[in-house]
Amino acid sequence: MASKRPLSILQISTRDIGGGAEKIAQDLARGFRTFGHMAHQAVGYKRGDDPHVSEIPQGDREPPLQCMAWDMYQALQPYYGRVPGVKALCRLTHDMASPSRRKTRLRGAEDFDYPGTASVAALAPRRPDLLHAHNLHGGYFDLRMLPELSRRYPMVLTLHDAWLLAGHCAHSFDCDRWERGCGSCPDLSIYPALEADGTAENWTRKRDIFSRCRLHVATPCAWLMDKVKRSMLAPAMASARVIPYGVDLSVFHPGDQGAARRKLGIDANAYVLLFAANGIRRNAFKDYDTLREAVATVAARDMKRPVVCLALGEDAHKEQIGEAIIRFVPFEAEAHRVAEFYRAADVYVHAARVDTFPNAVLEALACGACVVASAVGGVPEQIRALRGEPIASGLNGVGVDEATGVLVPGGDADAMADAVGLLLADDGLRRRLGENAANDARKRFDVTRHVRDYLRWYDEILGVTKSLDRPDSFRTASSAPASSLMGS
């Protein structure tokens, strides 16, 4: 008979608070605990005060100077990319923590020198029944420990990007060298960047590591799973699942647009567009140039009302582009306030060069905002696209009764402007698509469904059948950071 004791689940992630991957791990942990399981997180860099999160210790090095350097490096992490000079300090202290690190970096090799990984399972309050790893890049995890960890524990691995499949990059754009062994990399600057082309060596190291692993691999979309099945990770897969993300529908739901604009100090008479991302102008995976051009094109038409684009996720001075204003809004940590931005918008516009399964799109849909998005990566799996122009060619659209937004070809500013203009000019169409979006989000993107899908899969992996008749739903803490806006 199957055991019904609570599971001990240890999730491994770069940070507790940060980008979309971190938000997913946090929401899952809260959901697992709501269903009565013991859920703990081991992270490379702890920024919050959640007692269910432990930082993976890396400072047990000798001599003491290296321990001090690592402690300083970890202390600087909350300011990385936000305070001038911190990136250089991080590199210096990172190198000091391990003298071999600089040589590794100069030859273009990925750095796996994180000995705390060996004892990661000991951070769980009780011996884990299962390890669940999320992003393993970000300077905290020794990938060489993966075979040993997967031998000692059933190991689930959720891919939020394609870093594990390539010689260095989180997304390869149009490059297909990751299928053949990398080398002669066309762009070493893609995150995580390299100083020299060691991509062939990195790819081979990863392939050799995976050849000794047994992993249960999940992706949030079929687009990324298709890449996994064509990669050197495929032979390591004991099982695979496509499990779409979920969002907290008690926070992200439709509401009064006028009230939202009053709370946020937004002109009630303006056409309001919204785009949310981490470091909007500098984010190589998003497409600010296309967004900027599309907004300018829309505003240049005879719109009768001012056009304001809110760029949520970057602190910068507003930008006047012809008749339009792009207003930058710093990252917002309060989820309820983030939801007000979606409710205040007439159209959520998601311009990207590549994206896995952006939480910002799901949150916009759940709030009843109709979406115009670049048809890249897994985004077409999120949106039921309106049939007809300017829909991206080759995609099967649906009618007005089912559509939740419009998809346009990536990098096509004119098509994006046409789609936005179409929705702004037709109040009835915009309202209908918004209603459809909220209804579809309730059916497909509820965070409770997301948690249940993983728990059912855990049961299959562990060979047990556990009851899921605890709460019918759960909601994340209202103060949970809306860090999904910080990344894909």
CATH superfamily membership of 257-444: Glycogen Phosphorylase B; (3.40.50.2000)
pLDDT at residue 63 tops 70: no
Answer whether residue 488 shows pLDDT above 50.
no
pLDDT tens for each residue of 400-409: 999 999 999 9
pLDDT of residue 472: 46
Token pair in block for residue 236: 């390591």
Which single residue is written with the structure tokens 């931005």? 341
* Predicted pLDDT of residue 47: 87
The sign of the CA dihedral 193, 197, 198, 199 is positive
Q: Which CATH superfamily is domain 8-61+98-246+446-478 in?
A: Glycogen Phosphorylase B; (3.40.50.2000)
**Is residue 434 within 8 Å of residue 463, measured between CB atoms?**
no
For the beta sheet containing 370-374, the strands, ordered from the edge strand earlier in sequence to the opposite edge, are 319-321, 324-329, 307-312, 271-276, 347-350, 370-374, 405-408
Q: How far apart are CA 161 and CA 219, in angstroms?
A: 9
Q: Residue 134 and residue 22: Cα distance in Å, rounded?
A: 8
**Residue 199 pLDDT > 80:** yes
Bridge partners for 40 per DSSP: 10
Q: What is the pLDDT of residue 256?
A: 97
Contact 369, 348 (CB under 8 A): yes
pLDDT tens, position by position, 322-370: 889 999 999 888 899 999 999 999 999 999 999 999 999 999 999 999 9
Domain ranges of the chain: 8-61+98-246+446-478, 257-444
Q: Which two tokens stand for residue 25?
A: 């791990």
pLDDT digit string, tens, across residues 417-441: 999 999 999 999 999 999 999 999 9
Specify the pTM: 0.89
Q: How many CB atoms lie within 10 A of CB 399?
A: 10
User: Which residues 6+ apart lie within 8 Å of 97 measured at CB?
Assistant: 58, 61, 66, 69, 70, 73
Higher pLDDT, 253 or 395: 253
DSSP state, residue 35: T
- For residue 33, name the pLDDT band (cuts at 50, 70, 90): very high
State how far Cα 209 lies from the chain centre.
Answer: 25
Token pair in block for residue 403? 């559509």
Pairing mode, strands 319-321 and 324-329: antiparallel
Q: Are strands 405-408 and 370-374 parallel, antiparallel or unpaired?
A: parallel
Answer whether 8-61+98-246+446-478 and 257-444 agree in fold: yes
pLDDT classification of 78: cutoffs 50, 70, 90: low
- Count the helices and strands in the chain (H runs, E runs): 14, 14
Q: In the chain, pLDDT over 70 holds for what percent of residues? A: 91
Question: What is the structure's pLDDT at 322?
Answer: 85
Q: What whole-number distance in Å separates Cα of residue 361 and Cα of residue 382?
A: 8
d(CA 66, CA 47): 22
Cα–Cα distance, 9 to 155 (Å, whole number): 10
Do 447 and 473 contact (CB within 8 A), yes or no?
no
What b/e sequence results for 182-196 when a residue is b if at least 16 CB atoms lie within 10 Å of its CB, and e otherwise? beebeebebeeebee
Contacts of residue 178, defined as CB under 8 A and 6 or more positions apart, other chains included, come to: 162, 165, 166, 167, 169, 172, 203, 231
